[in-house]
A = this chain, B = another copy of it.
């Protein structure tokens, strides 16, 4: 996949930035080091001033790329979901069997990211950590409805929709394909978090993955006779 990705750019809503960070080396450094710094100190402690220090640049220069750190987080997580979508489509496109297709999709959406490969300045392992630990904060705000209208969550919504369609292909009579799709994505992240911080709240551990749990959950739910 590596080589293919060199020709691919993940398209992010232009309202999320003031100046495209992909358009300059400073921009790419902002992305690269913001991922590192947010992963390291957490989103609450992260500031543009600290980031400036880290990259040997100035707070004011970073503000020329992003209005505030919330927009930066939306940019980073949009990128992550765009990257996920790319992998999903790429890996499932040629699979005809709906069961197999859905299984592959669940695997891609819930697996642990282990290698940083595709894009030079983006560390996907750290970005995955950020999504696990910070993504909810990007929508659990009072501004969520306005920002949703602005299209800030569009990639994530498209992903859920794609997953939902795959679920319906496996079981056209299942009544909650969209909810189940969002459960896979959201609870996938959550099980990874629990594994790390609340092992007593999950059966996932070094032997059992969130992927296994969710795959089992989904396939036991679909094509089942119990109703209501």
Q: Which residues in A have some Cβ–Cβ distance to B below 8 Å?
A: 41-42, 44-45, 133-134, 136-137, 139-142, 144-145, 148, 153, 157, 160-161, 175-183, 186-187, 190-191, 193-194, 197-198, 200-204, 208, 213, 216-217, 219-221, 224, 226, 228
A141 and B203 form a contact (CB under 8 A): no
- Give the oligomeric copy count: 2
User: Using Cβ atoms and an 8 Å threshold, which residues of chain B touch A198?
Assistant: 139, 148, 153, 157
Choose one: B145, B161, B178, B186; the contact of A197 (CB below 8 Å): B145
In the complex formed, the residue of B with least CB distance to A147 is: B197
User: How far does the alpha carbon of A208 sit from the alpha carbon of B190 in the complex, in Å?
Assistant: 24
Choose one: B42, B148, B190, B200; the contact of A178 (CB below 8 Å): B200
B144 and A216 form a contact (CB under 8 A): no
Choose one: B186, B203, B220, B221; the contact of A179 (CB below 8 Å): B203
User: Using Cβ atoms and an 8 Å threshold, which residues of chain B touch A191?
Assistant: 179, 182-183
Min distance, Cβ A122 to any Cβ of chain B, angstroms: 22
User: How far does the alpha carbon of A216 sit from the alpha carbon of B224 in the complex, in Å?
Assistant: 10
User: Using Cβ atoms and an 8 Å threshold, which residues of chain B touch A182?
Assistant: 190-191, 194, 201-202
